[in-house]
Structure 1
């Protein structure tokens, strides 16, 4: 009989093309343990920090999900899509004007502090118990309530039109896809997200993460060794 798995958080560096549920399923199989959840979804396209809560740490799920996040992203101007990222067909194409770095920065700077986002149709938010993405697949569009979000800080790393690379530090429930879309609208030419990587969620970053490819072949002992145990998490949350 296997020994009980200690409780804690496993930080995984999620690969592109996977869902949050995929990571939970892999970890359950490798640990031979069922009581595992995840702290917030990452779109299949996105990579980076995904926190899995194991055992008694599942009780901390809401607390850990409420922390702010940091993302690195890239957007492409001049093209809008239904999902607001590269995972769906281009719906509209506009010419990208010869924007200066200052004009691009001004568009980003408009979305700083507290504001509202209208969630995309391709999202896990539910309408009458049905996830919006399932309605979107049927070509159904419904009204979505704006959500209060906040951007604490951003950085623009590269502007090579039509692409812009950036980092954004934001609150929970923030859609970076919608952020890219709205910046494109602000610049008058539209945009969609072409790359996304979460580098931090609360106090957890990639420095303690196990790569997805390693998780798939890791032994039970190796995974337990990578976990951040409850006593350390308590100290982290108290800081």
Structure 2
């Protein structure tokens, strides 16, 4: 323990945040549940010490984003890192046309990851190959887009709003007061879509920006990105990296989105011994949850382990 929800600042890598957390929390055992690019900000969940064991159960969580997609200019990195590698004339668009295109991306999709990504191909990071001038064919991967909503269409990213607030269902909307987000330096004045997305694990919003531009017939790049939620953790509850040293953090049970089984002392002992105890009342093993993962806690509320419970 524990788990911390941080608000990653602009121009830091996720590894930079982990390195700072290690110094502030005086431990080498720090992991995160999903990478954010340097030009993205927002929710980065850190698991510390024994909580690093939870990463495997949390990194598959869905995530929410506010994304700025600038049309008419593409980059090899697919974001505002640049430089611009191609340009194109942007046709006149209205909100209804754009939302119709966005609707086509909802649901299961096959997505080609960015060349500048940490994916390993033949033992080499894709970004390392790209920076060396090599082109690696990255295969398309299945992703899932739960929701994709246009919040506005603006003449440039500079003209797009930066202040937002969450609605009661956790979807962030443009607001007069609330959180104001910083964005990377723009690569120019290009028509920009502001979108809210809820996506499954493994989805690259940079690739989504590229693909939305292609569907509209123009090159495009991601000119700004804010992660507003990762799993059960929203940006409204995040702390700055600098505040980690005094932040209370969350215990393991509150961090996991799993059913919790309160173990009796006898069951807790058997689990510690690595045994698979029978559930005498039902004549079968443990609990009947059809193969679901379950967090098992002993009588004092401390997490023992996560188990897969079969009927």
TM-score w.r.t. the length of structure 2 is: 0.70
Instruction: For residue 210 of structure 1, give the secondary structure of its aligned residue in structure 2.
Output: coil
Query: What are the equivalent positions in structure 2 for 1:21-100 lying under 5 Å apart?
Result: 21-100=15-94
Q: How far apart, CA to CA, are the structure 1 residues paired with 2:236 and 2:69?
A: 26
The separation in 2 between residues aligned to 1:47 and 1:238, in whole angstroms, is 31
Report whether the alignment pairs 1:231 with 2:225.
Answer: no
Contact 2:10 2:38 in 1 (8 A): yes
Cα deviation code 1:186-221 (max 9, x no counterpart) = 000121100000000110111221113x33xx54xx
Counterpart of 2:198 (choices 146, 169, 191) is 169
Please give the per-residue CA displacement for 1:71-106, whole angstroms capped at 9, x wherever unaligned.
Answer: 001010011110111112111110101112111111
The structure with higher relative contact order (CA 8 Å, sep 6+) is 1
- Unaligned 5+ runs, structure 1: 1-6
The structure carrying a bigger helix percent of its residues is 1
Q: So what's the TM-score if we normalise by structure 1? A: 0.91
Alignment of 1:192 with 2:186, yes or no, is no
> RMSD of the TM alignment (CA)?
1.3
How far, CA to CA, are the matches of 1:128 and 1:10 in structure 2? 34
Bigger Rg, structure 1 or 2:
2
Question: Cα distance, 1:154 vs. partner?
Answer: 1.6
1:111 aligned residue: 105
Q: Give the SS at the match of 1:136.
A: helix
**Distance in 2 of aligned mates of 1:106 and 1:187:** 10
Q: Offset of 1:238 from its aligned partner?
A: 2.7
Q: Distance in 1 between matches of 2:253 and 2:76?
A: 44
Q: How many residues align?
A: 225
Q: For 1:24 and 1:120, how far apart are their aligned partners in 2?
A: 23
